[in-house]
Amino acid sequence: MIIRILNENQYIVPSLYLDEINEIDNEIVRCIAKSDSEGFKKKYAELVEIVRSNGIPMDPATIKESDLIIPPADVTFEEARNIFIGEGLIPG
């Protein structure tokens, strides 16, 4: 499975991590709903760490679509919240 960390790189991550990633994703959503920015930061760092440490960075000379696109490692709580409302992160 190809995962892109925005502003960083694409990683080839074994699919067996998908459940773990989904679990953290759900917790992140809960953090956003509760406006728990500290919890969000911690959880998101965990998620990025899973991708970075278990994934193989993709060769920049490859052009391939990702299966999953995740926010930059230094995404702010406000930016994450914006993904849920209105235009999302990517304008236009």
* Residue (39 or 72) nearer to another protein, CB: 72
Q: Does 35 bind another protein (CB under 8 A)?
A: no
Binding to another protein (CB under 8 A): which residues in 37-76? 60-61, 63-72
- Give the closest residue to 21 by CA, choosing from 44, 40, 53: 44
Which one, 53 or 90, has the nearer CB to another protein?
90
Instruction: Report how far Cα 18 is from the mean position of its chain's Cα atoms.
Output: 12
Out of 13, 16, 22, 41, which residue is the one contacting another protein (CB under 8 A)?
22
Q: How far apart are alpha carbons 69 and 58 in whole angstroms?
A: 14
Distance set, CA 33 to CA 38, 39, 40 (Å): 13, 11, 10
Residues engaged in binding another protein (CB under 8 A): 4, 6-7, 9, 21-22, 25-26, 28-29, 32, 60-61, 63-72, 80, 83-84, 88-92
